Amino acid sequence: MVRIAACFSQWLKQTGVGAKDICYDHAIRYLRYRARHVRPYLGDRSALRHVIDFMGSEGVIPGNKIVARRMPPAEICAQAYAEYLRDAQALAETTIINYVPFIRDFLHHCFGDEEVTLSRLRAVDVVSFVQIRAPRLHLRRAKLMTTALRSFLRYVRYSGDVTLDLAAAVPVVANWSMPSIPRAISADQTRQLLASIDRRTAVGRRDYAVLLLLARLGLRSGAVAFLELDDIDWGSGQLSVRGKSGQRSELPLPADVGKAIAAYLRHGRPHSASRRVFLRAKAPITGFRGQSGVGSLVRHSLQRAGIDAPTLGAHQFRHGLATQMLSHGASLSEIGEVLGHRHPQTTKIYSKVDVKALRTLALSWPGGAR
Active site residues: 220, 244, 315, 318, 341, 350
How far is Cα 302 from Cα 306, in angstroms, rounded to an integer? 6
- CA dihedral over 313, 316, 318, 321, signed as positive or negative: negative
Q: How many CB atoms within 10 Å of residue 163?
A: 9
Residue 340 is given by DSSP the state T
How far is Cα 138 from Cα 307, in angstroms, rounded to an integer? 23
Q: How many angstroms separate the Cα of 338 from the Cα of each of 52, 127, 212?
A: 52, 41, 15
Three-class SS state of 36: coil
Q: How far out from the chain centre does Cα 238 lie?
A: 28
Three-class SS state of 90: coil
Three-class SS state of 348: helix
Q: Which helix (H) or strand (E) holds 24?
A: helix 24-35
- CA dihedral over 150, 151, 153, 157, signed as positive or negative: positive
